Amino acid sequence: MQNSEMKKSMNVSCIPRNIKILKNIFLLFLCLLFPLTTYLFAESDIILDTGKIAESTERISIKIPTDHSYLTTTSISYTNAMSDGSPAPKLVYVKSGEYYLSYNDGGSNGKIVSLDSNFKIIKELVSLKNFRIEDTIADSNGLTVLLSAFEIEKKGNYETKNFHTAYINQYSTSGKLNFSTKIVGTKEYKNVGDQGIDTTFGTLTLTKTADNNYATYFSTYRKWDDGVTHQSEYLALFDNAGKRIFKSDGKTPEGFTWNVSHSFRPRFINDGKQLVMVTVGDAYPRGLVVDSFPSRKRELPIVVPKAGANETYQYVPISTGDLYAKDGTTWITFDSNLNRSSYDIGLIIKVNDGLSEPIYLTSTTKQRERIPRIVPYGKDHLFVMWMAEDGTEKDKWFPKITKMNLETCLIQKDGTIVSKPQSFGSGKGFTFRAAARFFHLPDGRFGWVNDLTGLADQLEIILASPFQKETNVVSSNDSPTTQPTKVKIDPSLGKPMVAAIYEGREEEAISLLSQGADPNTIYEGWSALLYAAYFGRTDSVKALISHQANIDFSVDGWNALQLSEVRGHNQIVALLQPLTKSLSRSLSLSKSPNPKNPLTSIGKNRSLRAEIEPAELNQNLKNLGTPMN
């Protein structure tokens, strides 16, 4: 009796203990499961197919207050032999959410404009004369720019620009000059020690350091005691007030004034701990050079043999691409045809002071796969892009952009290919120059600024996203806007309406439409709807639809829907798709046409800059032209 009662008591006492153990196991299981499911949920939104990324990529037109350096793609080389060519426009942002666009006009004069959240110009902040913007960064201090000063020199019947001196300037986000400091420069190399900037073989770059100062890195020329002007790199550091940082002796500038000889396409980045510098040397040393500062550890992951009898000593078949760095790790991209059948795209990973072996992302018979760009993609991936051309001359270095295709691939951070190399946005007209630089926004979106628009006063932002997008389909039975009251057509309002659409002044365009502008106004073969679809003017498209514009009107076989598709304006595609009758055209059959500028025939004396930025709001510009020593 006693034993049976004891057994029963033991069994009862064990039940709560067993339940408690099971409960703990279940809770442990949940702890393990929820982080995983959270990760899977986050990763499920990431697009890992570059073809699908291209489909959702947007093209946002920006009407600038001046012209810009590059107008068409017909005669532009993707890259020069030893440099990327003239600096491309660059989009930067500050954490408070403002965007800024720096670019150079047709005379190489630097400009900075502010943009709203939809990338429309608010006003022009900085307008320089005889100073070209080489690079721009934004932080809490304002907009810091690396400039090259130039003079126009006449040689016979031709004019050339002598880029001679580098400056670092900083402007507030309202356009006020915070500081201007001369870095190095000379107009002539007469005396031993004269040193000036090299814009022929190098790219001038600017970044922040791990200790929150500013650093500039580029190639220079210097006259030596042998009477010859040689070329190498130059690294300079500045504090937040623009003052040069010196070594502990108080006399020697921090950084260096000479390094790899000769140095082509130097690039650098802050890896969170130190500066990582990558360049190509053709003499001492000869190959791909990876250096660091302040540790000053130099490595040559790719060594190029001494030039042969029929080669110039400058011939080094390697070009540096983009760099990306985070938490002490740097991803270095490059192209090379050394010991390969053609130029291929490669990757080297630098972790603290160690370098990986070169990892080749392509291995094809294409003659040129050149100048890669790299940008973070989601949490665990990297997006790599380059231009490629099929050709017959292995060593030709000057491919034309019109003969090249944009290609991309997705990789994991260890270099493993996730989405194999393939054409990006075939038929959509995506393109970029070797000088173009990626931007990466806090929300994960990324892209570049294209200056090969075919229009002197238009740039475009190419904006891609790693995340799935919801597409809002507009029913053909639903009117995008309230049906307008019928008004008498006033032919005189048609061209001003088209001009307003062209410039992005959509409120004005819609107002003119309501006053009687013909919704089917034609300028140079283009209807108002075609202009709106081409430039991504969504509100104008809605208004034109509601005013019974001809949806199927086309130019060179392209209607509004097809233009909006190839330009990546997805909202407009959703508006036009259910309303368009002709949907069968293949976009790959021909290149989409470019519209004419309607402003050339409307008010030649019109001040476009005054319309974007009233004079009373721009009192500082007169004082921004000449940097101070």
| Average pLDDT rounded to a whole number, residues 21-46 | 47
**Which one has a higher pLDDT value, 146 or 51?**
146
Residue 311 confidence class, pLDDT cut points 50, 70, 90: low
Q: What pLDDT sits at residue 195? A: 96
| Average pLDDT rounded to a whole number, residues 429-438 | 87
Note whether 382 and 497 are same-domain residues: no
- Report pLDDT digits (tens) over 493-543: 999 999 999 888 889 999 899 898 999 999 888 999 999 999 989 999 999
* Structural domain contains residue 479: no
Give the least confident one: 230-234, 309-313, 587-591: 587-591
- Report pLDDT digits (tens) over 170-208: 999 999 999 999 999 999 999 999 999 998 888 899 999
Q: What pLDDT sits at residue 8? A: 42
Give the least confident one: 241-255, 323-337, 403-417, 568-582: 568-582
Domain harbouring 279, CATH code: 2.130.10
Note whether 370 and 508 are same-domain residues: no
Residue 82 confidence class, pLDDT cut points 50, 70, 90: confident
* Structural domain contains residue 400: no
**Confidence check: pLDDT of 115 > 50:** yes
Domain harbouring 523, CATH code: 1.25.40.20
**Confidence check: pLDDT of 26 > 80:** no
Note whether 373 and 509 are same-domain residues: no
In sign, the C-alpha dihedral spanning 497, 499, 502, 506 is negative
Q: What pLDDT sits at residue 469? A: 63
Q: What pLDDT sits at residue 392? A: 58
- Report pLDDT digits (tens) over 455-495: 888 899 999 999 876 544 444 344 444 556 567 888 889 99
Q: What pLDDT sits at residue 605? A: 39
Q: What pLDDT sits at residue 295? A: 92
Domain end residue (candidates: 371, 386, 401): 386
Note whether 174 and 315 are same-domain residues: yes
* Structural domain contains residue 559: yes
Q: What pLDDT sits at residue 570? A: 84
Report the C-alpha gap between 426 and 57 in whole angstroms.
12
| Average pLDDT rounded to a whole number, residues 143-155 | 94
Q: What pLDDT sits at residue 397? A: 60
Give the least confident one: 19-33, 74-88, 197-211, 614-628: 614-628
Tell me the residue ranges of DSSP E strands in 204-309. 205-208, 214-223, 229-238, 255-256, 261-270, 275-284, 286-293, 299-303
| Closest by CA position to 229, among listed 221, 220, 241 | 221
| Average pLDDT rounded to a whole number, residues 14-30 | 48
Q: Is 608 exposed, middle or buried (0-12, 13-18, 19+ CB in 10 A)?
A: middle
Tokens of 567: 């330009």
**Confidence check: pLDDT of 629 > 50:** no
Q: What's the domain range around 577?
A: 491-596
Note whether 376 and 498 are same-domain residues: no
Do 262 and 291 touch, CB atoms closer than 8 A?
A: no
Do 277 and 233 touch, CB atoms closer than 8 A?
A: yes
Residue with tokens 């090969």: 452
Report the predicted TM-score, pTM, of the whole model to 2 decimal places: 0.77
Report the C-alpha gap between 591 and 234 in whole angstroms.
43
| Average pLDDT rounded to a whole number, residues 319-328 | 95
Note whether 246 and 376 are same-domain residues: yes
Report the C-alpha gap between 420 and 408 in whole angstroms.
8
Q: What pLDDT sits at residue 67? A: 86
* Structural domain contains residue 462: no
Note whether 251 and 379 are same-domain residues: yes
Q: Percent of the chain, pLDDT > 90?
A: 51
Q: What pLDDT sits at residue 470? A: 53
Chain mean pLDDT for the chain? 82
Report the C-alpha gap between 2 and 10 in whole angstroms.
12
- Report pLDDT digits (tens) over 215-228: 999 999 999 999 99
Domain end residue (candidates: 341, 356, 386): 386
* Phi, psi for 448 (deg, rounded to 5): -150, 165
How far out from the chain centre does Cα 141 lie?
Answer: 22
Report the C-alpha gap between 206 and 204 in whole angstroms.
7
Residue 11 confidence class, pLDDT cut points 50, 70, 90: very low
* Structural domain contains residue 72: no
Give the least confident one: 54-58, 164-168, 186-190, 322-326: 54-58
Residue 80 confidence class, pLDDT cut points 50, 70, 90: confident
- Count how many domains the chain has: 2
**Confidence check: pLDDT of 139 > 60:** yes
**Confidence check: pLDDT of 395 > 70:** no
Q: What pLDDT sits at residue 582? A: 65
- Write 606-613 long-range contacts (CB < 8 A, 24+): 608/65, 608/457, 608/503, 609/65, 609/66, 609/124, 612/65, 612/113, 612/121, 612/123, 612/124, 613/65, 613/123, 613/124
Strongest mean pLDDT among 71-75, 146-150, 623-627: 146-150
Report the C-alpha gap between 165 and 169 in whole angstroms.
13
* Structural domain contains residue 241: yes
Q: What pLDDT sits at residue 310? A: 67
* Structural domain contains residue 136: yes
Note whether 379 and 495 are same-domain residues: no
Written as one string, the DSSP assignment of 158-189 is: EEEEEEEEEEEEEE-TTS-EEEEEEEEE-S--
| Average pLDDT rounded to a whole number, residues 600-614 | 38
Note whether 257 and 382 are same-domain residues: yes
| Closest by CA position to 119, among listed 349, 376, 445 | 445
Domain end residue (candidates: 386, 414, 444): 386
Residue 36 confidence class, pLDDT cut points 50, 70, 90: very low
Note whether 371 and 520 are same-domain residues: no
* Structural domain contains residue 27: no
